[in-house]
Amino acid sequence: MARTTLGQALNRALRDALAADPDVVVYGEDVGPLGGVFRVTDGLSAEFGEDRCFDSPLAESGITGTAVGMAMYGRRPVIEMQFDAFAYPAFQQVVSHVAKMRNRTRGRLELPLVIRIPYGGGIGAVEHHGDSSEAYYAHTPGLRVVTPATAADGYSMLREAVESPDPVVFLEPKRRYWAAEDVELPARTEPMDRAVVRREGSDLTIIAYGPTVDTALLAAEAAAGEGRSAEVVDLRSLSPFDDETVAASVRRTGRAVVVHEAPGFAGFGAEVAARVTEQCFHYLEAPVMRVCGLDIPYPPPHLEEFHLPGVDRILSAVDRLQWESSWVPGTAPVGAPEQRSEVNA
Amino acid sequence: MARTTLGQALNRALRDALAADPDVVVYGEDVGPLGGVFRVTDGLSAEFGEDRCFDSPLAESGITGTAVGMAMYGRRPVIEMQFDAFAYPAFQQVVSHVAKMRNRTRGRLELPLVIRIPYGGGIGAVEHHGDSSEAYYAHTPGLRVVTPATAADGYSMLREAVESPDPVVFLEPKRRYWAAEDVELPARTEPMDRAVVRREGSDLTIIAYGPTVDTALLAAEAAAGEGRSAEVVDLRSLSPFDDETVAASVRRTGRAVVVHEAPGFAGFGAEVAARVTEQCFHYLEAPVMRVCGLDIPYPPPHLEEFHLPGVDRILSAVDRLQWESSWVPGTAPVGAPEQRSEVNA
Amino acid sequence: MTTSEAPPVAVPTVPSAEPIRLIDAEGRRTADPAVRAGFDLPGPDTLEALLRAMVVGRRFDGQAGALAKQGRLAVYPSSRGQEACQVGGVLALAENDWLFPTYRDCVSLVARGVDPVEVLTLLRGDWHCGYDPKAYRCAPQCTPLATNASHAVGLTYAARRKGADTAALVLMGDGATSEGDAHEAYNFAAVWNTPVVFLIQNNQWAISVPLHKQSAAPTLAHKAVGYGMRGYLVDGNDAAAVHAVVAHALAEARSGGGPALIEARTYRVEPHTNSDDPKRYRDDAEVERWRRRDPLARLEALLRSEGLLDDARMAGFQDEADRLAASVRERLSRPPRRTADDLFAHVYAEPTAALRRQRAAVREAAEHAERTGGPDGGR
Amino acid sequence: MTTSEAPPVAVPTVPSAEPIRLIDAEGRRTADPAVRAGFDLPGPDTLEALLRAMVVGRRFDGQAGALAKQGRLAVYPSSRGQEACQVGGVLALAENDWLFPTYRDCVSLVARGVDPVEVLTLLRGDWHCGYDPKAYRCAPQCTPLATNASHAVGLTYAARRKGADTAALVLMGDGATSEGDAHEAYNFAAVWNTPVVFLIQNNQWAISVPLHKQSAAPTLAHKAVGYGMRGYLVDGNDAAAVHAVVAHALAEARSGGGPALIEARTYRVEPHTNSDDPKRYRDDAEVERWRRRDPLARLEALLRSEGLLDDARMAGFQDEADRLAASVRERLSRPPRRTADDLFAHVYAEPTAALRRQRAAVREAAEHAERTGGPDGGR
Ligand SMILES: Cc1ncc(C[n+]2csc(CCOP(=O)(O)OP(=O)(O)O)c2C)c(N)n1
Ligand SMILES: Cc1ncc(C[n+]2csc(CCOP(=O)(O)OP(=O)(O)O)c2C)c(N)n1
Ligand SMILES: [Mg+2]
Ligand SMILES: [Mg+2]
């Protein structure tokens, strides 16, 4: 088994996708000779030529709009937004065209394109380089929004995203680019739209995705030390959402914590908490806790540690899951009104 | 008491704001001589001159960016995005500058500007004219996001928004522009960031905002006919969120339904359901139900009736609030796993 | 390995301040060669085809306007007065070329041969797009201004890479040129050298905003200079000139000459849409001046004075136009075909589990409504 | 009531293909009047001020680069080779004018008189902006490309309405001109006739993307034509020329002559930032060619040849530069001043209830971490 980083797995996925289908084209800012600022497209323009992997003018809306046009003609563009916050100029193209073209034309024009976005913080970069923008896309019908947490998923999910007939917003947890694991590529993992249980447990379920899956696993390890058995679910696909896997886990454990880096307010964790509660209400011993980024603009490097949900914050949320609640339905245990998840903690 | 529509109240608010403060400027597309496509700026350029209310070139990012610059110099720009979907080109300016400038400069540059956006459907308009984009803004720290449901609030909240030191995304429920009520202007209502109880009730709480408040009141009336006393809370401010008012109501009633037009998935209703559950868990007899728009692109006029949450859908959600549940904690009542709100109904 | 040095680019000539015109306002051939700018009047067959399509287009436009007034369309933005731009541009397209129209350009779609009822699907509120874009090589009518321009660039780029000589014609308004998306599309087209012709119908108004509040450029055609594109200013009420210049630009573009930007100077003689109130912002006098510059009358006069058109032929065009209008009336009197199920069918290639559940819920509600009288919509 | 007719606009002259130059590569006054394009060499005091600021700026830049290599800055994008643009532009500004710099333009801020340590606050990762924009009339360094250009338009528009004669200088790169926001800002400035000068530092590269993949225009200065703006092409390694042209454009703009777009042709001799690897995409030969066109050497040579500079004076500039570098080193060795509390202080004018709760939670966690050894961050 070879040690492979997420970045290498994504690079390999693009290489194999380019080789497998002549209609696949990869372009964006600096993805050509440079290989992308994170080197995810390293070597592709040299290997496949500047016709298949190339640098475009510096304009995200134009990059996305031209990808729409290429897809209309049967190509499968894979475009890169250099950083999360630099995808915002393309927002109109994504929301009003990428997401709607199939619906608008009743399936006559489909847009099999992939928008790759390195997202999230934790790499000590200045402002605009650490946003977690998944909620904006997840709330937009017509888009598939996925995010891999492992190298194997990075490869498999990106291949699947390129092959998908639907447009896919492919969110890459940038601080995990360099995380290595043993994996033999090419590898195909579970279908892109399924959540997976990364660690089994019986007392509570930690629901995470992308950059926070690893944090959740570390927290589960630590919780085990404190005698609590935490199951960890990696969502993988934010939209569509795999209710079956998530609900099955929470019904088993009766308690849940959802973890993400984006600000908690109106963040994706709210959807997770809401639908888990809807589906598991009578199994829940405590409200679903949200451990999220603070409700602030992404902080400067020296302070990002306070913003990013870490093991300690997950553990203290776990502690607040009312382990020995002795309450009668309809009445509040002492202090329950003050029971708050971190979001409005 | 004079009959006043929401549109007239907003127009009066802008007129009074322009008269009260020489730094207030109103501009955008067609807001000058035409008075805006909804006539909200009717007569303002004639009364205050084209220096105070004027038409700009047709570019939403430029409109927003110039407003940032004007605010940096001490002006209070009130800009109009002609329709919800046409604010998307300004998304980068809104998220990366409007929301962050105060934080970026530690309060040295504040941006007291108002972005008026007519939003929501129900007026029989073609695509891009019926989006409900509140979740995108509510998830963005640094913005205040408010939406009036009455003419009195339209006036009072818009005056307050213009006076606010923070940037305000002011969402105007376009299908309510022509709804008239008896109100004497100028009127000042509750502070912009407070929710208000529009109708008192004891059995359940219906939480709504903007265009769905009226629908919620109609549903409450109908529910009364069926012997159920529904309290109706009008959120008014989506961000920041008035936890006190909402939680107090739900703790009293023990059941809640949240209603909005936007697609339910990762919509603002998820935040409402999640935080209500966090704060009222032990008071809840049933999971918070969400009655929302379908998870689809906004439909064409002939089909929008199926998308918009109406009285019937609210009532059937109310029916699903487990009125005679007889369950033991930790075990599921028959069919409970199938218990779903409309969002994943 | 590369250096930053660019391949030498020719400085594009600045477009003439006087629009290219082949037929003058009185319907005579333009005498001044400077005004013809080296373009020849198209042949008789083309001229006749242009007139025919404009006659049919105008009749269609009037019919659609009437249906809108009757409330049988949700809204209708008229093409009236701009037929020379839309017909002249579309008839210059080859079979496999693509058209990228806006909400304003129904007449261009009719001229392209799209079923007129399918053209009106959007504005009727039946669905977002009624026709099959691939069957007609016509993109859906675009409402978000200037956003389809980059689609045309991408489509033609892809076509070239696949060995096709497909070109594209993008229709956009004067106001749309202010959008960032217009700029990005022009630049991508020029840098990628894609065969796209951007035809700006400068009808002087963006709803209520006059051109001088929109741009300080000498002409909109001058925008071409900053992209290294060819730029042309043409009389937008002269169908012959529009056709000649667009045909030339398309041919150049196809043979690798790069994209072009054409400003066709015309006028929106009707309100922005049937729900607009132009009295609030513009003088009737100006409208009247432009009504007298009618593009149909101009071409008809030329054809008649050159003996290329007689009453019988003209009557034939009118008959064809009336028949089309009648069939549009008749077919639009039938109820819309779409049902609630359609809402869920094409959000994704396959409806998701959540969408299947929502579809079932809506069906149930609809059936329930059947029994109890109509869904309540947003009330 | 209005009509669409625009007030007559003069067709702007197309910029020269040859950059305006006042000092040639060898440090001699430019002889050819065509190349001087009517501009005069600034006076001795200005020339000396330019050299002094460039010497100080380069030393600062080198020091910042060294700190970045040591990991004491999060990242540093060097201004090296572009000092003539940044210093020439900034020294042309009046006291009350505003500067709108990017991440690339630290030297421009030092030249503007901003505390060098406050300039580095962003790149050190201490906070997003270290200086008081109003105190220095310098907007925060902008990272989202071209997005601050419209801020400058709005600010100067507001200033004019308030009777001030404030003008603004916007610094942007060649790559940034491709963004829609650049287009919208140029157009708003021209239509509103606001006193903004857009100075494009064309350093030939946008990270790894060479200019010819960015634009097909003959020169970037040609972009001015499409907005009805004045456009100038200037030698970006000639501080005298940049200063003269920017000063002229600012004066014109202030007196109602409208905005201007200036392309300063220069070169990024360093990597994009310290974390870039230019070997992957460009030839060293090209870099070497440009290093030999050093803007400091050029101005120094002129001043010496004209007897306006001696070794003592030059040594004085160097001392000043060294002292500044030393103080930057020393002050940056102190720990950052910001604490977790700062995160919540300026999200809104008043922290919301939710933010106060989150602040309390973070404080608590921090204290707990104190006791148990460091918050765990994202681990
Ligand atoms: C991005 C965007 N902003 C605003 C609108 C609203 N709108 C529709 S048409 C129009 C005016 C367009 O003027 P122009 O481009 O000249 O086209 P015309 O209607 O005159 O043909 C506006 C502002 C829109 N459709 N898209
Ligand atoms: C909207 C946006 N997209 C992408 C980026 C990422 N980025 C940072 S610098 C840069 C290159 C900019 O080149 P140029 O404008 O020529 O400025 P230079 O760095 O050469 O001074 C890119 C693509 C960004 N900062 N903003
Ligand atoms: Mg127009
Ligand atoms: Mg550059």
- In chain D, the DSSP E strands lie at 98-100, 168-173, 196-202, 205-206, 209-210, 230-235, 260-265
pLDDT digit string (tens) for B37-86?
Answer: 999 999 999 999 999 999 999 999 999 999 999 999 999 999 999 999 99
Report chain D's mean pLDDT, rounded to a whole number: 94
C3 alpha carbon to ligand 4 midpoint, in Å? 13
Touching chains, C (3+ CB pairs < 8 A): A, B, D
Report which of C217, C287, C271, C281 is spatially closest to residue B55, judged by C-alpha positions. C281
User: Which of the ligands is closest to the CA of residue C142?
Assistant: 1
Distance CA D336, CA D338 (A): 6
Q: Does B45 touch chain D (CB under 8 A)?
A: no
Residues pairing with D29 in the sheet: D23
Report which of D270, D226, D240 is spatially closest to residue D64, judged by C-alpha positions. D270
pLDDT digit string (tens) for C114-129?
Answer: 999 999 999 999 999 9
Distance CA C319, CA C8 (A): 55
Pseudo-torsion of CA A243, A249, A252, A258, nearest 10°?
A: -100
Distance CA C211, CA B155 (A): 33
pLDDT digit string (tens) for A91-133?
Answer: 999 999 999 999 999 999 999 999 999 999 999 999 999 999 9
Percentage of residues of chain B with pLDDT beyond 90: 93
Contact C376 B311 (CB under 8 A): yes
- In B209-268, the DSSP E strands lie at 230-234, 237-239, 256-263
Joined together, the tokens standing for residue A113 give 């394109």
Report which of D2, D3, D50 is spatially closest to residue D22, judged by C-alpha positions. D50
Region D36-56 average pLDDT: 97
Contact B80, B116 (CB under 8 A): yes
Joined together, the tokens standing for residue B59 give 């570019």
Report which of D235, D303, D290, D241 is spatially closest to residue D263, judged by C-alpha positions. D235
Contact A309, A293 (CB under 8 A): yes
Question: Is residue B334's pLDDT more than 60?
Answer: no
Contact A154, A6 (CB under 8 A): yes
Q: Does C1 touch chain A (CB under 8 A)?
A: yes
Distance CA D314, CA A132 (A): 50
Looking at residue B155, what is its pLDDT? Answer: 98
Question: Is residue B327's pLDDT more than 80?
Answer: no
Looking at residue C375, what is its pLDDT? Answer: 46
Pseudo-torsion of CA D101, D106, D111, D113, nearest 10°?
A: 90
Pocket of ligand 1 (CB under 6 A): B 29, 58, 82, 86, 89; C 104, 143-145, 173-176, 203, 205-207, 268, 272
Percentage of residues of chain D with pLDDT beyond 70: 95
pLDDT digit string (tens) for D50-102?
Answer: 999 999 999 999 999 999 999 999 999 999 999 999 999 999 999 999 999 99
pLDDT digit string (tens) for D188-204?
Answer: 999 999 999 999 999 99
Per the model's pLDDT, the better-predicted residue between B329 and B266 turns out to be: B266
Looking at residue C368, what is its pLDDT? Answer: 78
Looking at residue D37, what is its pLDDT? Answer: 94
A49 alpha carbon to ligand 2 midpoint, in Å? 24
The C residues from 1 to 20 touching D (CB cutoff 8 Å) are 1-7, 9-12, 14, 17
Region D283-303 average pLDDT: 97
Residue tagged active-site, from B129, B139, B260, B282: B129
Q: How confident is the model at residue D38 (pLDDT cuts 50, 70, 90)?
A: very high
Q: How confident is the model at residue D9 (pLDDT cuts 50, 70, 90)?
A: very low
Pseudo-torsion of CA D330, D331, D333, D339, nearest 10°?
A: 170
Low-confidence ranges of chain C (pLDDT < 50): 1-2, 7-11, 375-379
Percentage of residues of chain A with pLDDT beyond 70: 94
Contact B278 A330 (CB under 8 A): no
Nearest-5° Cα angle at A175, A174 to A179: 105
Percentage of residues of chain D with pLDDT beyond 90: 90
Distance CA C258, CA C249 (A): 9
Question: Is residue B207's pLDDT more than 70?
Answer: yes
Q: Is A139 a catalytic residue?
A: no
Count interface pairs A-D at CB distance under 8 A.
150
Looking at residue B333, what is its pLDDT? Answer: 38
Joined together, the tokens standing for residue A301 give 């490097």
Alpha-carbon gap: C69 to the closest alpha carbon of chain B (Å): 15
C33 alpha carbon to ligand 2 midpoint, in Å? 47
Distance CA C130, CA C120 (A): 7
Q: How confident is the model at residue B339 (pLDDT cuts 50, 70, 90)?
A: very low
From chain A, pick out residues whose CB is under 8 angstroms from the CB of D217. none
Looking at residue B47, what is its pLDDT? Answer: 98
Report chain A's mean pLDDT, rounded to a whole number: 94
Distance CA A330, CA A344 (A): 23
Pseudo-torsion of CA D216, D217, D219, D221, nearest 10°?
A: -140
Report chain B's mean pLDDT, rounded to a whole number: 94
Region D225-238 average pLDDT: 97
Contact C155 A72 (CB under 8 A): yes
Q: To probe the interface with A, which of B86, B88, B131 has the most A CB atoms within 10 Å?
A: B88
Region D325-346 average pLDDT: 94
Contact C212 D286 (CB under 8 A): no
- Mutation pick for ligand 1 pocket among B31, B34, B37, B82 (CB with most ligand atoms within 8 Å): B82
Report which of A90, A98, A106 is spatially closest to residue A166, judged by C-alpha positions. A98
| Contact residues for A88 (Cβ-Cβ < 8 A; gap 6+) | A60, A133, B91, B92, B95, B96, D144
Nearest CA in chain D to B72: D155
Span of B137-151, B256-270, B327-341 with lowest mean pLDDT: B327-341
Q: List the single residue in C210, C223, C224 with the smallest CB-CB distance to D2.
A: C210
pTM value is 0.96
pLDDT digit string (tens) for D103-162?
Answer: 999 999 999 999 999 999 999 999 999 999 999 999 999 999 999 999 999 999 999 999
Alpha-carbon gap: C276 to the closest alpha carbon of chain D (Å): 15
Looking at residue C337, what is its pLDDT? Answer: 81
pLDDT digit string (tens) for D256-280?
Answer: 999 999 999 999 999 999 999 999 9
Question: Is residue D302's pLDDT more than 70?
Answer: yes
The DSSP element (H or E) to which D357 belongs, if any, is helix D353-372
Q: How confident is the model at residue A343 (pLDDT cuts 50, 70, 90)?
A: very low
